[in-house]
């Protein structure tokens, strides 16, 4: 429905609910239309200017009347922007343990521009997005065509570079709205101002993406994997995604086990072409760093130090491929016993 409402490149409001995905559900589209109509009526705007998002259990009937009845009170809350943003960030959470809310300020075309964003995402997260909602707003003056281009340029290096559990979803949304009140000259093509806007948007999105990866269901560690020296960016990304998606690598990080063989294994089945005898692997964290593999061969290393490094919350897996100058960074998390507990009875 959002795609149909965005054919003119414009939207003015978003209505979102959590706990019920409204996907594969009785009267799903009908209920989504009813939500949009309820918001449009109270705000006095066209129904086509309202976007709708849902997240939660698949296949259950959405109690749309509850949402319709609440719309007037929700609209009143818009007058208190700071408190309303915090409330919305909390309201869209499902299995998230912390809210995800970020704001940045930058200079675009000589004018101060602000951006803010809220997001939810904890499970069923995998490249090409997953069970995530992300709503970004800015006061930058930018055309519909350019803001769409900026969002597509951003999603590819942020939300499409995280993985929690290898599962994607029926429900995901990432959208950005701009009201143009910053007073900058409207961005209508890819000029220097567009570059400034894009840099800020990417910073915002990458921060939210990392927060989602860190808050993976049951996770104890944020994993940042960086591939250096790849032949090209596509190869670097393919390898990087494979490593952060590897269940065995995730399990090794959970156990603070410097089992670098899991990393090479994930690289090998990624489908990317590379020479394994050029590969170096290094683990790092706030405690320090340790090289565990050099040119495809294992090294003698201090196991106690390696364990201390991997006990930290933020873990880095750094890979040097020795085949070029391309770089890619992706983010994931470990897999724990709690992940099974959360998903074993998610519906009931």
Assess whether 238 carries a catalytic annotation: no
- Rounded to 5 degrees, φ, ψ at 342 are -65, -45
CA angle 325, 317, 199 (to 5 degrees): 55
- Give me the count of residues in the chain: 348
CA distance 264 to 254: 18
The residue among 157, 72, 172, 77 whose CA lies nearest residue 120 is 172
- Structure token pair of residue 139: 């006061």
CA distance 137 to 166: 29
CA distance 243 to 247: 9
For helices 144-155 and 192-214, what crossing angle results, to 10°? Answer: 40
Strand 288-294 versus strand 280-285 pairing type: antiparallel
Annotated catalytic residue: which of 131, 138, 224, 238? 131
Q: Are 174 and 159 in contact (CB under 8 A)?
A: yes
Looking at the annotation, which residues are catalytic?
Answer: 131
């Amino acid at each position: 429905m959002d795609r149909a409402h965005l054919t003119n490149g414009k939207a003015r409001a978003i209505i979102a609910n959590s706990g019920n995905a409204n996907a594969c559900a009785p009267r799903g589209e009908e209920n989504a239309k009813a939500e949009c109509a309820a918001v449009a009526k109270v705000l006095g705007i066209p129904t086509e200017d309202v976007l709708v998002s849902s997240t939660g259990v698949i296949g259950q009937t959405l109690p749309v009347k509850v949402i319709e009845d609440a719309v007037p009170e929700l609209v009143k809350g818009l007058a208190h922007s700071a408190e309303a943003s915090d409330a919305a960030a909390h309201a869209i959470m499902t299995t998230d343990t912390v809210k995800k809310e970020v704001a940045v300020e930058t200079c675009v075309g000589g004018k101060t521009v602000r951006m803010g964003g809220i997001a939810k995402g904890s499970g069923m997260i995998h490249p090409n997005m997953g069970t995530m909602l992300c709503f970004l707003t800015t006061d930058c003056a930018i055309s519909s065509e350019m803001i769409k281009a900026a969002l597509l340029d951003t999603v590819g290096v942020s939300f499409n570079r995280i993985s929690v559990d290898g599962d994607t979803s029926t429900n995901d949304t990432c959208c950005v709205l701009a009201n143009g009140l910053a007073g900058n000259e409207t961005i209508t093509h890819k000029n220097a101002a567009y570059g400034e806007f894009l840099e800020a948007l990417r910073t915002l999105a990458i921060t939210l993406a990392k927060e989602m990866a860190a808050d993976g269901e049951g996770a104890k560690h944020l994993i940042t994997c960086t591939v250096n020296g790849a032949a090209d960016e596509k190869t670097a990304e393919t390898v990087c995604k494979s490593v952060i998606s590897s269940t065995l690598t995730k399990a090794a990080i959970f156990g603070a086990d410097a089992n670098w063989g899991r990393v090479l294994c994930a690289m090998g089945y990624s489908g990317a072409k590379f020479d394994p005898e050029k590969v170096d692997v290094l683990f790092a964290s706030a405690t320090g760093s340790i090289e565990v593999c050099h040119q495809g061969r294992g090294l003698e290393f201090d196991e106690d130090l390696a364990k201390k490094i991997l006990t930290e919350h933020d873990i880095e897996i750094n890979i040097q491929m020795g085949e070029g100058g391309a770089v890619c960074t992706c983010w994931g998390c470990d897999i724990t016993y709690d992940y099974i507990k959360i998903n074993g009875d998610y519906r009931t």
